[in-house]
Amino acid sequence: MRFLIDEMYGEQLAHLLDQRGHDTVHVRDVGLGGAPDAEVLAHAIDSRRTLVTENAVDFLPLLDQRQAAGLSMTAVLIALKAGRGVGGALHVRLAADLDTWGTDNPTPYAHAHWLALSDG
């Protein structure tokens, strides 16, 4: 799976996903730290990556606008941090959940998805 990790998560998450065999970059790795959400989404689309974010409030309307306009889309995975721990533990658990999701959804539809909280 090709992921683009939004800035509310640390770069450690991208490294953990790379170790699990995913092609992952963090927004700061591609010069998009602090960039407007529309630019982040455009980069995810252009680079054919699934965007991983916690920001449903901003990205869901952007996806709907693009879809209504007939523009290209990508999968956006809403992955809430709540319930996954803090710091390094958060990233380890989130990486495991994203790895499972990527394996279970090798060709996700181009719109919003919600990442379920694993039992582990």
| Beta pairing, strands 50-53 & 2-5 | parallel
Taking only the tens place, the pLDDT of each residue in 91-100 is 999 999 999 9
Say yes or no to pLDDT of 108 above 60.
yes
In this structure, how many other beta carbons lie within 10 angstroms of the beta carbon of residue 8? 13
Give the span between the Cα atoms of 60 and 52, in whole angstroms: 12
Compute the mean pLDDT over every residue in the chain, rounded to the nearest whole number.
Answer: 93
**Binning pLDDT at 50, 70 and 90, where does residue 47 land?**
very high
pTM attached to this predicted model: 0.93
Q: In CATH, what number does 2-114 get?
A: 3.40.50
CA distances from 78 to 5, 64, 70, 111 (A): 11, 15, 22, 10
